[in-house]
Structure 1
Amino acid sequence: MKAFKFPARHGYSVEISPFIPTRLACATSQYYGIAGCGTLLVLEQTETGITLVKSLDWNDGLFDVTWSESNEHILVTGGGDGSLQVWDTANPQPRPLQVLKEHTQEVYSVDWSQTREENLVVSGSWDGTAKVWDPSCGGVSLCTLQGHEGVIYSTLWSPHIPGCFASASGDGTLRVWDVKSGRCRLAIPAHRAEVLSCDWCKYDQNVVVTGAVDCSLCVWDLRNVREPLSRLLGHSYAIRRVKFSPFNQTVLASCSYDFTVRFWDYSRREQPLLETLEHHSEFVCGLDFNLHIPNQVVDCSWDETVKIYTPPCLAAPALSAP
């Protein structure tokens, strides 16, 4: 396991570059995101550890980060002041290229579209709205989508369907949106608690997972949402982030306020929990799979560390391929 310590900053989100297998970015905040500024850390994985490439400060906490899918130097972060910041790591000036400010409360989620037909960013905010942006078209959003009755914690583009994203909210629902019509296509009462995270299966456009304050993960088939395909239990506190594996259709990971990261195979009805890792001493908020290095995982925590590792359960030959 490789670790990087960033004193006086608490990790909220971490994402590996879609272009460079060893490059990752971490969005952090001072004072647990309650007050103070934020810092975007651009990091490099080496043979022996993790090194700092660039540190970029913002005047409010940073809660999420996403890499551009079209330019290896561009990132977008979401801030506590209601703005999105567009950064260019090749720019010698330590300030954003653009600041996109329309949300009226914290931007808790940002995601860059993965389909070839578009080059868009979606943001989700505590103001209850999701906004779609084209960073190449100035500082005005393309559209605003409303429907949630609570704060939005997570917004994620479908990796399969252009113009489609999912959102998770404090109102307990998972919603699927169509940007072209500007409408919600599907609203699922996913949990009887705040839903903090969602993610799309990389192999099936109809499968989405949610993680909630009720300590459960639910895997949904969007064609039949009366009951989840699977309900995964084991965490003892709220689930902060969920991620499907890019290398196995039914494997996913979750991290939690219980300080753990857990790995699951939802196709295993009797024993879906593959492994529980307890290598942090605070809330684990950020989580990502490496798209280039099979079964390598990165996470970040309020304990001021980023960690990179391959969990033993995924190193097993039976789980190393789809």
Structure 2
Amino acid sequence: MMMTTMMTKVFRHPARHGYAVEVSPFMPSRAACAASQHYGITGSGSLLVLDQTEAGVTLVRSWDWGDGLFDVAWSEANEHVLVAAGGDGSLQLWDTTNQLAPLRVAKEHQQEVYSVDWSQTRGENLVVSGSWDQTAKVWDQTLSPSLTTLTGHQGVIYSTVWSPHIPACFASASGDGTLRIWDVKAAACRLAIPAHKAEILSCDWCKYDQNVMATGSVDCSVCVWDLRNVRQPVNQLLGHTYAIRRIKFSPFSRTVLASCSYDFSVRFWDFSRNQPLLDSVEHHTEFVCGLDFNLHIPNQVVDCSWDETVKFYSPACLSAPH
């Protein structure tokens, strides 16, 4: 099903396996990738800042870290600042104008930090992190001592994502099979959804509806949820043949989302359709772990894989009329 007309720009970083990629909220051409040596099992990590140009993709800046890096998030307030999540239990605050060392390192988590996200709602500037120590922590933008630690998951936390609609609210997905919705001000879990009978590796919020979320699981399914009625999913998206590593809702279409998987593919879905699969892009030769939509360039997607590449492309299915 791969469209041969698709223009793809590729950046290759030898001996670094991509875990997460995020496009800058300020600069249309810029993305950051969190990567690890030796597939993240041992060794060090790298944080890459990339710019796409007419000719391809260039490396703007790279920093090495003593342990694998598993996630990255850009500041929503300062175009030069980003935060990365480390296998050593640390979060590091980096500045693209400062070449040498992180601005700050916060090391409170007891095990790998697998997810980090920067709040998008106006009036607050917060970071949330999720760890294999089964806790989520909320921080201010300086990564000073954490503001709060949230416990309740019975398994490792793989994903923590701020609501784009509701201030001080985030979701987490865990190896315990639950999706949880947290109220930071009350430091409480507001909703725990037994979303899958297997580990959940990713969750995301619909950009257009505060009640719609999706989860991606080791059971190879993506489930779309209406938080007002969680007895069963709104839709279950089937087709991946191995664990789903990351899911993202489109910033341009209410019912479109993308998923990437250990089956080497990226799939695009419209959950409002009877046949929800729009396309399957199979342009990697290893696990696809990171995925993001470009907020500035409609229909452009960036992904990263254990095959040492980061790819910028615009799948035809996203510009086709739905």
Give the alignment's TM-score, normalised by structure 1: 0.97
CA distance in 2, matches of 1:117, 1:126: 30
Q: Does 1:100 align with 2:111?
A: no
**What residue is the counterpart of 2:141 in the other structure?**
135
**What residue is the counterpart of 1:126 in the other structure?**
132
**What residue is the counterpart of 1:279 in the other structure?**
283
For structure 1, list consecutive stretches of 5 or more residues without a partner in the other structure: none
SS at match of 2:202: strand
Structure 1 residue 299: deviation in Å? Answer: 0.1
Q: Which of 217, 222, 232 is the aligned partner of 1:227?
A: 232
Q: Does 1:36 align with 2:43?
A: yes
Q: Does 1:236 align with 2:241?
A: yes
**What residue is the counterpart of 2:204 in the other structure?**
199
SS at match of 1:314: helix
1:314 alignment partner AA: L
1:135 alignment partner AA: Q
Identity of aligned residues (%): 76
Residue 101 of structure 1 contacts residue 139 of structure 1 at CA under 8 Å; is this kept in 2?
no
Residue 111 of structure 1 contacts residue 155 of structure 1 at CA under 8 Å; is this kept in 2?
yes
Question: Cα RMSD over matched residues?
Answer: 0.6
Q: Does 1:162 align with 2:167?
A: yes
CA distance in 1, matches of 2:109, 2:33: 22
- Residue deviations 1:64-111, cap 9 Å, x none? 00000000000000000000000011113x210000110000000000
Structure 1 residue 312: deviation in Å? Answer: 1.1
CA distance in 2, matches of 1:116, 1:48: 36
SS at match of 1:32: helix
- Residue deviations 1:227-275, cap 9 Å, x none? 0000000000000000000000000000000000000000002x10000
- Residue deviations 1:155-178, cap 9 Å, x none? 000000000000000000000000
Structure 1 segments (4+ residues) deviating >4 Å: none
- Residue deviations 1:248-307, cap 9 Å, x none? 0000000000000000000002x1000001100000000000000001000000000000
**What residue is the counterpart of 2:3 in the other structure?**
none
Q: Does 1:144 align with 2:149?
A: yes
SS at match of 2:63: strand
**What residue is the counterpart of 1:299 in the other structure?**
303
Q: Does 1:113 align with 2:119?
A: yes
**What residue is the counterpart of 2:189 in the other structure?**
184
Number of aligned positions between the proteins: 315
CA distance in 1, matches of 2:263, 2:292: 18
1:22 alignment partner AA: S
Structure 1 residue 135: deviation in Å? Answer: 2.8
Q: Which of 48, 65, 68 is the aligned partner of 1:58?
A: 65
